[in-house]
Chains A and B, each alone.
Chain A
Amino acid sequence: MPISRLLYTSSARLEPGPQTIDKQLCRLAGEAALLNEEAGITGVLVYVEEQFIQVLEGESAVVEEVFERICCDFRHAQIKLIDLIPVRQRMFARWHMARLCEGADPESMLDDDLKNIRYLLGVNARAAVERMYETLISYEDIDS
C-alpha cells in the first residue's frame, strides 16, 4: 500500500460563544483523532497564532478521503494544501494525532518552537515537518 504524507494549513473558524477557544479546539481535535484512528491515519496537529498546521500520514487513498472530509468542513477556513508526497514510512507512526498547542505551558519554549515551525513552513515545508517531529519528541521526553 502506498503511503502519503499531506501537509496543510487552515485557520479555525471558531464559534463565538460561551465555550472557550481551548475547549472548542479540544473538541475538534478529539473528533478528528477518533476518526483518524479508525482510518489508520497518523500525524500531528499544531495550533499556533490562530492557525492549524496538520500533517496526515496514511494510505494514499485514505489520506485523500480524510483531506476531502476536512475540505468539506466549514469549521476550517482558508485551507491551503502545502505539500503532498509519497513516503516510504510514517514519521509520526506513534501518534494517531499528536497535538502541539500554543499557550498550553507559558513557561516552556514550546511557543517559540511553534512560531519557528510556522515560519519554516513558508520557506521549506519538508524541513517544517521534520521540525514538528523533533519538537514533539523533545516535549514528549520532558513530559515522561
Chain B
Amino acid sequence: MRIIGCIVEDHNLWFVLIAAIMCVAGSMVSATLFRRTMAEEGPAWVHWCFLSAVTAGAATWATHFIAMLGYQTTAPVSLDGVLTVISALIAAGGIGLGLVLASSTSARIAVLGGGATIGFAISAMHYVGMFAYRVDGIVSWDWRYVLASLAIAMVCAGSAIHLLRDQDNGYRVWQAGMLLALAIIGLHFSGMAAFSVTAMAGYSQNGDSDAFAALAAAIGMVALLIVGTGISTYLVERKASSDGENRIAHIAMHDALTNLANRRQFTEALAGECNAIDSGGQPFALMMVDLDRFKPINDTLGHPAGDLVLQRIANRLKLAARSGDIVARIGGDEFAIIAFGVTGVATAAEIAERVVEVLSRPMVIDGNVVEISGSVGVALAPDHGTEPDALVQHADIALYSAKHHGKQTYRVFEPQLMEVIQRQRSLEAALRRASMRDEFRIVYQPVFCSAKGEITGAEALLRWTCPEHGEISPTEFIPIAEELGLVARIGADVLRKACKDAASWPAHIDLAVNVSPVQLLDPRLPQTVAQALADSGLSPSRLELEITETALLNNDEAALRTLTQIRDLGVRISLDDFGTGYSSLSYLHRFPISRIKIDKSFVQKLPDDVGSASIVRAIAQLGSSLSMKITAEGIETDSQLSFIKEHGCDEVQGFLTGRPIALADFLVLTGQQAENVEA
C-alpha cells in the first residue's frame, strides 16, 4: 500500500504518466531488440548486443529520470552530474552483460544469469541515480522495500528473457515487453517507497531549481534520442531483411529461368485447392503440358537458345491461360496449369485448345525457325478426383494419351483411358520380358514373280504372342519397343534368325527384312547386318532391307551414310509403303534404293479407283525409268493381280498369292515349287 500511496501522494501524476509511456514504449522496443540479439550470431550479434544495451539502458534510465522529476518533495534538490552519468553507464553496461548471458544456449544461464543481471543492472542504475539525487534533508531508507524492489526487477527480467527464448512465437515479445515494463515500474516505485525525505527546517529552496530542470530536460532528451535511434535502426533493418525475405520467398517459389511458379508452389497450390474443394470450394482444372519436340532444340541450337524457347513458351502459356490461373514449370520441358473455376469439360477444352494452338505457332530464335508443339492432358476436380496425387495421375494419363494420338493435341481424362494405359503398361512389361526371353516368332510371306508366278523371295515378318493379351500386331508393339529402346536388339535378333533360316532355302529365293526408322539411326546397323550375313553364310546379294520414307525424313545425312555402307556390303535396299509418306522423288535419286514397294492402300483400290490406278501406273513407269524393281503389296483379288501384271510390276505379295507362314510351312512351299519346276 505504501507503494501506491507513494505514487499518488509523492509524485506529480503528469510526470508519472510520461514516465509510464516512456517505460512501456522503451520496454517494448527493448524486448524486440533483445529477441533479435538472442537470435543473432557472430559479428552481427555484437552489434545487436551493443545497440540493444544502449537503447534499453537509455530507456530505463530516462524512465527513472522523468519519474524522479515528478517526485515531489519539499526539500531542495540538486543533481550530481558524475553519478548521473555513471548510473546511465551502469544501465547500458549491465544490460549488455545480461544480454551476453541471455544469448547462451543453456536455459539456466540465460534465464537465471541473464535475467538476474539485467534486473540487477536496472536496480543498480536506480540506486546510483538516487545517490546522485541530492536532497537537502534527512534521507531514510527502508531496506525491506529495497530488497523487494531488487527481487521484482530480477524476477520480471528473468521471466522476460525466458519468454524471449521462444523465437517462434511473435506474441511473446509483447508479453516480455510488459514484464520488462513491470520490472522497471515495480523497481522504481518500490525503490521510491523505500526512500523518504524530511526537509530540514531553515533551508529554503535554492535558486538552482531552473538549472536542475534544464539539466533534467537535456538528459531526458538525450535518452529519448538514443531510444529513437534504436527504434529507427531496428525498423530500417527489419525493412531490409523483410525485403530480403520476400525476395528469398519469391526465389523459393518461382522458376528462375521463366519466372513461372515452380514445382514447389504448384504442389502447394494444388494441395490448397484440393483442400478447399473438400470444404465446398470451387471446381478447377489441372492441365499437364508437355513440349513435343524440345530436346532437339537444345541439341541443335544449344542450351541458350533452348532457354530462350522456354522463356517464350512460358510467356505464351501465361497468355493462353486466363489471368489468375497458376502456370508452373514443373520440369525441364514440363509445365502445369491450374485453371480456377472451371466447371465443365467445355471450358477446360477451350483453354487446352488455346494452349495447344499457341504452342504450335512458329518461333524465331536468332534467325532460326523453331517448330515446336505441345500436348496437354486435362483432369477436372472434383469430377476426376479431389486428391492432388489422383488429379496429377489422371492428368498425366490424359497427357500420355494425347502424346500417343499424334501429339500437338489435348485430351481430357476419361476412366476408359485408364484401361488403355494399363494395357500399354502391361504390354511394356511383357515386351521387356519377351525381348529377354526371345519370345518372338518370324513368319515368312512369299513374294512371287508376277510374270511367271514363281516364288522369288520372302519377307520376314515379326510375330509376338503376349502371354497376357494374346497375339499383338507389330503396328502396336513396334512403336512401344521403339520407345523402350528395345527395337535395335529385337531387330538384330530378327535379322540374325532370318538370315540363318534363309541360308537353308534354295539359292534363288531372296530374303527381305524390315528395318525400323529407329534402327536406321543406329550407326552400328551395317555391322549388325555384316555379322548376321557372316554367321549364317547367306550371300549378301540375297538379302534386302526394307526401309520406310519416314526413316529418311529428318535424318537424311545419317541415313544416307548408313544405307551406303549397307549397300557396299552387297545388300539391297527397298523403299516400303511407297506413296503413303512424303514420297519425295529426291529420295529415290539420292539414296541407294533398288526397289519400290507400292503400298497396299493403293493396290487394294485397284482396278476400279481411277486415282489409285494412275498412281500405280506412274510408280511402275518410274521404276522402269530409274531401273528399280517394283513390288505390289497387299494383293487380295485376281483382278488386282491381273492389273499389276499388265502394268509391269515385277513382283507381287499379298493374301491372294500367299499369307505369311511359319518357316516349316515355307520350306514345304518352296520344296513343292522346286518339284513343280523340275517336273
Q: A residues bordering B, Cβ < 8 Å?
A: 4, 6, 8, 60, 63-64, 67-68, 71-72, 74, 77, 79-81, 84, 86
Contact = CB atoms under 8 A, between A and B. Distances in A.
B364 A86 contact: no
Given A4-B367, A81-B369, A84-B367, A71 B357 contact: no
B361 A74 contact: no
Given A4-B367, A81-B369, A84-B367, A74 B354 contact: yes
B645 interface: no
A71 B362 CA distance: 7
Contacts of A64: 364-367
A55 B364 CA distance: 15
A68 B363 contact: yes
B618 to A, nearest CB: 22
B617 interface: no
Nearest to B357: A77
Interface in B312-348: 312, 315-316, 319-320
B358 interface: yes
A72 B365 contact: no
Contacts of A74: 319-320, 354, 358
Nearest to B362: A81
Given A71-B361, A72-B358, A74-B354, A84 B369 contact: yes
Contacts of A60: 367
A68 B319 contact: no
B362 A80 contact: yes
A110 to B, nearest CB: 29
16 contacts: A8-B362, A60-B367, A64-B365, A64-B367, A68-B364, A71-B316, A71-B361, A71-B362, A72-B319, A72-B358, A74-B354, A79-B362, A80-B362, A81-B362, A81-B369, A84-B367
Interface in B349-382: 354, 357-358, 361-367, 369
Contacts of A4: 367
Q: Output the residue of B315, B358, B361, B367 with the most chain A CB within 10 A.
A: B361
Contacts of B364: 6, 63-64, 67-68, 81, 84
Nearest to A6: B364
Contacts of B357: 77
Nearest to B319: A72
Contacts of A86: 367
A136 to B, nearest CB: 25
Contacts of A80: 362
A86 B363 CA distance: 16
Interface residues of B, number: 16
B367 A72 contact: no
Given A67-B364, A77-B357, A80-B362, A72 B315 contact: yes
A68 B367 contact: no
Contacts of B367: 4, 60, 64, 84, 86
Interface string B277-292: 0000000000000000
Interface string B414-441: 0000000000000000000000000000
A79 B361 contact: yes
A72 B316 contact: yes
Given A60-B367, A72-B319, 10 more contacts: A6-B364, A8-B362, A63-B364, A64-B364, A64-B365, A64-B367, A67-B364, A71-B316, A72-B316, A84-B369
Contacts of A8: 362
A41 to B, nearest CB: 14
A86 B366 CA distance: 11
Contacts of A68: 312, 363-364
Contacts of B362: 8, 67, 71, 79-81
Contacts of B365: 64
Q: Output the residue of B319, B354, B362, B369 with the most chain A CB within 10 A.
A: B362
A24 B366 CA distance: 33
Nearest to B318: A72
A6 B354 CA distance: 24
Contacts of B361: 71, 79
Contacts of A6: 364
A71 B354 CA distance: 12
B210 to A, nearest CB: 73
Contacts of A67: 362, 364
A113 to B, nearest CB: 27
Nearest to B364: A64
Interface in B295-314: 312
Contacts of A79: 361-362
Contacts of A84: 364, 367, 369
B646 to A, nearest CB: 36
A77 B228 CA distance: 64
A64 B319 CA distance: 18
A77 to B, nearest CB: 7
B358 A71 contact: yes
A63 B367 CA distance: 10
Nearest to B371: A81
Contacts of B319: 72, 74
